[in-house]
Amino acid sequence: MSNIVETPPNLPDGVGALKSIISVQTLEIERLKEELRLARHKRFGASSEKSDPDQLGLFNEAETLATVSETGVTADEITVPKHTRKKGSRKPIDPDLPRVRIEHDIAEADKLCPCGSGHLRPCIGEMVAEQADIVPAKVQVLQHVRFKYGPCRVCDGIFPEAAAGDTAAAPEECAIIVAPLPAQPIPKSIASSNTCAFVVTAKYADGLPLYRQEKILARYGLNVSRGTLAAWMIRLGELIVPLMNLMEETQLSYDVLQMDETTVQGLKEDGLAAQTKSRMWVRRGGPPGKPVILFNYEPTRSGKVTWRLTEDFRGTLQSDGYSGYDAVGRRNGIVHVGCLAHARRKFDEALKAQKQNGRGGLAAAGLALIQKIYRVEKLARELGLSADARKRLRDEKARLVWDELRAWLDRVRRQAPPSTKIGEALGYLDNQWSLLIRVLDDGRIEVDNNACENAIRPFVIGRNAWLFSDTPAGAEASARLYSLIETAKACGQEPYAYLARVFTELPKATTLAEIEALLPWAIARPATHSVAA
């Protein structure tokens, strides 16, 4: 076997050309190494984006090491004092929960005073120790007994000769009448309103797929197939359409909107392979006191979807840097705002993709500057500032930090190859800058799109359990039910209690006022807690 290494074909003879090839390959190798390190960190490392504070102190840029920069923003100025908490202290049980009093007394013989006087010990008080007691769900059968009424005895022929002047109707007009059955969420189904609320809450609020619920219900003595449960979800999704329409109208009445989307696999989408990833879109908005979170299932991520979902909206739209929002952002009446969290995430990934002995550098410097902006936002949030007051605080403190970040970006923009993770982070920040800086114009706008991302999280958790949607109809029903639950949670409602009321009252509602009375913000928050699986 020869030890001679063969020269790869098609290599140029010139030294300069060879150096150029080596340079390109070196960059590609480093990019692949970064991808590998980042993949390993995502697989085995902490998932939090919070960086090690020691890492942020190990870079070379002097301006980021200074305790006080030219912005005049210091940690002491914008840090709320920490609360002291006793170690090992236990939180009290919610006082709104119902209490069951169980009394424990000493034996009758012990009540006699040992002094020999023959008198009983007086009761001078009591000591109360509380335990949380959970009663498992139980299945019971509601028997709707409907009384039937027939014709009177004259009409029925028992008294064929009516008295003179009797005005009784002819027998054929005296039909049997039955007491009406109250309107049900799913007509001709065995599911009561509470059962519907139980299953919907378990699936969409707690991420419990229907095949697991099938087994749980069987343990309780109720044998219902997964197919039947899925059919219930579709019927309930159709039932709440009037609420969805009113919620969308309320959302569009306010001029601030956030949008995001995530993947979902639909198996039976016309024209698409079962492996194709569809999308679940989320819009979060609504006026103060009436937050609305709406999910929409779509088979594509096309920009046509963003256009259609915002067609009737005018105001400030906040999103990530996906290009599908670009056309919407250029439309008259729309102010497009970016998401600083996505920019921060790029720097965080760049930091995690570095060599273990390469802590710091540009990635840590960028994170440190972005974190200074977030400290201002944290102060505004903890002080409970109004929109106008938050804008003034941003003008006073955050605007200087933004200027510092821009100046730093201009200095280092060309120092990293675009193919590297830090190059991607710098490029993303530069490309999104005009959208990100608009947060300073309006105190109502959040610095990032995290609230909308948080609204998606329950869907993502559930998706990890049930993996896919079998049909578009099921996915659309899920989108409506997720919308109702997440909006109810944003309005302070307990999901099970709220859904039980909606599924009881909505089938009986016949007027717009009756439907509006069931919107999440129109119902007073319950004083006690209901329990659902």
pLDDT in tens, 442-481: 999 999 999 998 888 888 877 766 555 567 788 899 999 9
pLDDT the model gives residue 93: 86
* Position 201 pLDDT exceeds 80: yes
DSSP E strands in 143-274: the ranges are 148-149, 177-178, 256-266
Q: What b/e readout covers 246-265, taking b as 16+ CB neighbours within 10 angstroms?
A: bbbebbbebbbbbbbbbebb
- pLDDT of 152 strictly over 90: no
Average pLDDT over residues 331-354: 91
**Closest to 277 measured CA to CA, from 290, 266, 286:** 266
Distance CA 50, CA 352 (A): 11
Is the per-residue pLDDT at 55 higher than 70?
no
Predicted local distance difference test score (pLDDT) of residue 164: 47
257: β partners: 285, 317
Hey, is 506 helix, strand or coil? helix
Tens-place pLDDT, residues 509-525: 999 999 999 999 999 87
Average pLDDT value over all residues in the chain: 82
Radius of gyration of the chain (CA): 33
Indicate the pLDDT class of residue 129, thresholds 50, 70 and 90: confident
What integer is the mean pLDDT of 243-267? 90
Q: Which of 70, 175, 17 is nearest to 407 (CA)?
A: 70
Residue type, 420: T
Note the pLDDT of residue 88.
53
Give the pLDDT confidence score for residue 282 in this predicted structure.
94
How many Å apart are CA 34 and CA 350, to the nearest integer?
8
Choose the weakest-confidence range: 73-82, 268-277, 483-492.
73-82
- According to the model, what pLDDT value does residue 90 have? 74
Taking only the tens place, the pLDDT of each residue in 2-42 is 555 555 667 776 777 767 777 767 776 767 766 676 676 66
Q: In this predicted model, what pLDDT tens digit does every residue of 364-412 receive, in sequence order?
A: 999 999 999 999 999 999 999 999 999 999 999 999 999 999 999 999 9
Collapsing DSSP states into helix, strand and coil, what is residue 282?
strand
54 pLDDT band (50/70/90 cuts)?
very low
Average pLDDT over residues 420-425: 89
User: What pLDDT shows up at residue 532?
Assistant: 46
Separation of alpha carbons 504 and 453, rounded Å: 31
pLDDT of residue 75: 44
The Cβ of residue 521 has, within 10 Å, a number of other Cβ atoms equal to 18
Select from 451, 316, 317, 434 the least CA-distant residue to 381. Answer: 451
* 175, burial (CB in 10 Å: exposed 0-12, middle 13-18, buried 19+): exposed
The residue with tokens 């890492």 is 55
For the stretch 294-324, pLDDT in tens is 999 988 878 889 999 999 999 999 999 888 8
Residue 436 pLDDT exceeds 90:
yes
- Stretch 103-112: mean pLDDT: 90
CB distance 456 to 282 below 8 Å: yes
Comparing 513 with 56, which gets the higher pLDDT?
513
Chain mean position to CA 229: 23
pLDDT grade for 76, boundaries at 50, 70 and 90:
very low
How far apart, in whole angstroms, are the C-alpha atoms of residue 298 and residue 320? Answer: 18
Over pLDDT 70: what percentage of the chain? Answer: 75
Give the per-residue SS3 of 365-424: HHHHHHHHHHHHHHHHHHCCCCHHHHHHHHHHHHHHHHHHHHHHHHHHCCCCCCCCHHHH
Average pLDDT of span 528-532: 49
Residue 204 is classified by DSSP as I
Predicted confidence at residue 71, as pLDDT, reads 44
- Please tell me the predicted confidence (pLDDT) of residue 183: 92
Which pLDDT score is estimated for 45? Answer: 61
